[in-house]
């Protein structure tokens, strides 16, 4: 897929997913339509409900096609249950539009396990990629960092981690605009002798690889927020824990500050004086500002939005899909994996 040829990206949107339902999804799509004048939508869900919401957003209505279905994947559905309805549910039909070529990417705020299962079943993995990885942006003291895998694969071997590093670097070059992202493996220490055999083998392969990235070795969990690396690579078990810990810590910090400022009239005065800085902090830590996780490594783009995201958050997830479409992230990944395999370091162990 050549980025220069995609002048009119098309996003398939699962309108029925997410806590906010169709009203929030349609409002988000309208925000994205304003940001990206060439972007158009395929909207999947209950036609009457979608039509009522589209009536409030004529700009979006002019650039959308509606596909009716009464079937919705619930958050409580098991992936196996959702798979059986991949042709009838709003989530499955959105992914199907990517498979058929009608859309360049699918966006859903629904059940993560179901979305992963449907996407993998319909799109399959790209050549050279054994497993897809879920990648997202995390805020740091400097710029945002890409973290993957965030839960798609609980156990990974060295080859999986190397593939995640290649995909994460391609994602960072697209979304963060970096020519040579700094990549590191999440580990229990920065010393070369620490970590599992899989992590050590992956590091050996990446150190000698000729790839459009700067491999920084290992990074510890407490250093992720420093922003000294652009891409943090790990297995899905550790990555999901790191993500949830970071989100919980941000809520803890905001809660502690709120309690502190309410403790006395002096602290309340301090709040009034520092209100602008505190609003900036809250905005920086707001998950909606970083919304949009991507299943990398599939033959098609699928973006996962937080289920609790507001309209601005879902619009940001659609924006991630738009950027990955126009920059042909799949082509970048394919090229980099082919280059790595062709010039695999001779002294790197075969995982």
What whole-number distance in Å separates Cα of residue 196 and Cα of residue 311?
41
Give me the average pLDDT of each 10-residue run along the chain (351 residues).
Answer: 61 92 94 94 96 94 94 90 91 95 94 92 91 88 87 88 93 88 91 86 88 90 88 90 81 78 76 68 68 91 91 93 88 83 58 42
- On whether the CB atoms of residues 200 and 185 are closer than 8 A, the answer is no
Q: Which of 123, 145, 162 is the last residue of a domain?
A: 123
CA quadruple 106, 22, 71, 113: dihedral positive or negative? positive
Residue 11 sits at φ, ψ, to 5 deg, of -115, 130
188 with 152, same domain: the answer is yes
Domain count across the chain: 2
166 with 107, same domain: the answer is no
Q: Is residue 110 part of a domain?
A: yes
pLDDT of 351: 42
Q: Is residue 312 part of a domain?
A: no
For 344, the token pair is 């695999």
| CATH number of the domain enclosing 34 | 3.40.718.10
pLDDT of 53: 94
230 with 215, same domain: the answer is yes
130 with 273, same domain: the answer is yes
Mark residue 297 as left, alpha or beta (left: phi above 0; alpha: psi -120 to 50; beta: remaining): left
65 with 196, same domain: the answer is no
96 with 221, same domain: the answer is no
Q: Which of 108, 123, 138 is the last residue of a domain?
A: 123
Q: Is residue 305 part of a domain?
A: no
What whole-number distance in Å separates Cα of residue 190 and Cα of residue 14?
42
The pTM of the full predicted model, rounded to 2 decimals, is 0.84
- The domain in which residue 32 lies consists of 1-123
131 with 213, same domain: the answer is yes
Q: Is residue 6 part of a domain?
A: yes
Q: Which of 99, 123, 147 is the last residue of a domain?
A: 123
pLDDT of 149: 87
């Amino acid at each position: 897929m050549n980025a220069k040829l995609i002048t009119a990206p098309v996003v398939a949107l699962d309108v029925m997913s997410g806590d906010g339902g169709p009203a929030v999804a349609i409002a988000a799509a309208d925000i994205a339509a304003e940001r990206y004048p060439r972007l158009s939508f395929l909207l999947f869900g209950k036609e009457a409900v979608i039509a009522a919401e589209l009536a409030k957003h004529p700009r979006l209505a002019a650039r959308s096609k509606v596909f009716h279905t009464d079937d919705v994947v619930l958050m409580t559905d098991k992936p196996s249950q959702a798979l059986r309805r991949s042709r009838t549910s709003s989530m499955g039909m959105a992914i199907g539009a990517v498979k058929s070529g009608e859309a360049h990417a699918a966006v859903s705020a629904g059940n993560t396990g179901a979305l992963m299962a449907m996407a993998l079943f319909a799109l399959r993995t790209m050549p050279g990629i054994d497993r897809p990885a879920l990648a997202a942006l995390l805020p740091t003291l400097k710029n945002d960092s890409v973290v993957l895998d965030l839960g798609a694969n609980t156990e990974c071997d060295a080859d999986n981690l190397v593939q995640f590093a290649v995909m994460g670097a391609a994602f960072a070059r697209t979304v963060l605009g970096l020519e040579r992202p700094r990549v590191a493996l999440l580990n229990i220490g920065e010393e070369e002798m620490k970590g599992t055999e899989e992590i050590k083998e992956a590091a050996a392969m990446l150190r000698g690889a000729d790839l459009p990235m700067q491999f920084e070795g290992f990074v510890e969990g407490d250093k992720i927020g420093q922003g000294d690396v652009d891409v943090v690579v790990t297995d899905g078990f550790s990555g999901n824990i790191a993500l949830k810990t970071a989100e919980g810590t941000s809520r803890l910090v905001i809660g502690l500050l709120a309690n502190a400022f309410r403790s006395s009239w002096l602290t309340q005065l301090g709040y009034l004086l520092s209100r602008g800085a505190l609003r900036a902090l809250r905005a920086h830590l707001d998950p909606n500002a970083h919304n949009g996780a991507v299943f990398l490594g599939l033959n098609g783009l699928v973006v996962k939005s937080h289920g609790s995201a507001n309209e601005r958050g879902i619009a940001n997830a659609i924006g991630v899909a738009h950027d990955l479409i126009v920059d042909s992230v799949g082509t970048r990944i394919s090229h980099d994996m082919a280059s790595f395999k062709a010039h695999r370091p001779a002294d790197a162990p075969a995982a």
